[in-house]
Structure 1
Amino acid sequence: MTDREPFRTRIKVRHYELDTLGHLNHAVYHSYGEVARLELLEAAGALHGMGKVASVLLETNVVFRRELRAGDVVDVTCDVKFGSGKTFKMDSNIIKLDGTLAAEIACTLGLMDLEIRKLVADPRAAFEAAGADLKVLSTSE
């Protein structure tokens, strides 16, 4: 277990993101997760410079814990967990500034070779070979 905190980015809930009930639309939670994933990849040096390889989202699941309303400011964390095989996990939490957990997002991703349109065999090794900072990507590194 590590004492390091996962990567986080701050987002303000905007009025146009609300549903008819006045809280954040369910689909926007997924968008917030995507913002955190892209910000994490950029911070780790893995958004550019991966050559003909790109991350691809294979599965995503959101557990809604507390509502978010216009003007709320949240931190969205993102942390990679590598295992064996072609896929890896990215977990995010959406946390209000008072510490309240608003949502949990669990994603499965892979790295796709854009020439042959197949997942690479070892995504951790591909990130490492591209010079990505694995300690930024994952608190497990």
Structure 2
Amino acid sequence: MTEREPFRTRIKVRHYELDTLGHLNHAVYHSYGEVSRLELLEQAGALRSLEGFAAVLLESHIVFRRELRAGDEVDVTCDVKFGSGKTFSMDSNIVKVDGTLAAEITCTLGLMDLERRKLVADPRGRLEAAGADLRLMSTSEG
């Protein structure tokens, strides 16, 4: 059995995203991770099927590996890992098209009941019940 690849989104670094040193501003790396997370949730059907619920970011950590400059194209991966509690992780790698790892982002999220303003006890189960494509969301799913 071969290992599946995580979801990917391609992004081109734009000039206005650069800092005074001429490389991608540190905050934009986080934005790229958010783009990939939202694209994955949308393509998996989680955004439209979760009426009354929303994924909320609880923690984010980034490790910068290589600089990115204007015109660089990157693939931003996103892979969900569910545990047994109220939280789950959505981890991303920002990789130049030549294969160079530019950054690693690890995020902890929860699924919030927007009426109660509380995290649901079983986010994986709620996503599955809503018809989200868990296999697209996570390389560790069946």
* TM-score normalized with structure 2 length: 0.98
2:83 is aligned to: 83
**1:21-32 correspondence to structure 2 within 5 Å:** 21-32=21-32
Residues 75-106 of structure 1: CA deviation (Å, up to 9, x unaligned): 00000000010000010000000000000000
Q: Which amino acid aligns with 2:86?
A: K
1:58 is aligned to: 58
Distance in 1 of aligned mates of 2:126 and 2:47: 12
| Contact 1:79 1:90 survives alignment (8 Å) | yes
1:132 is aligned to: 132
Give 5+ residue unaligned stretches, structure 1.
Answer: none
2:117 is aligned to: 117
Give 5+ residue unaligned stretches, structure 2.
Answer: none
- Give identity over the alignment, percent: 82
1:19 is aligned to: 19
Distance in 2 of aligned mates of 1:107 and 1:121: 18
Q: Which amino acid aligns with 2:7?
A: F
* TM-score normalized with structure 1 length: 0.98
Distance in 1 of aligned mates of 2:24 and 2:51: 36
Question: Post-superposition, which runs of at least 4 consecutive aligned residues in structure 1 deviate over 2 A?
Answer: none
RMSD: 1.0
Structure 1 residue 51 displacement after superposition: 1.4
| Contact 1:2 1:139 survives alignment (8 Å) | no
| Contact 1:54 1:114 survives alignment (8 Å) | yes
| Contact 1:87 1:110 survives alignment (8 Å) | yes
Distance in 2 of aligned mates of 1:58 and 1:2: 32
Residues 101-128 of structure 1: CA deviation (Å, up to 9, x unaligned): 0000000000000000000000000100
Higher mean C-alpha deviation, range 41-50 or range 30-39? 41-50
Distance in 2 of aligned mates of 1:33 and 1:40: 11
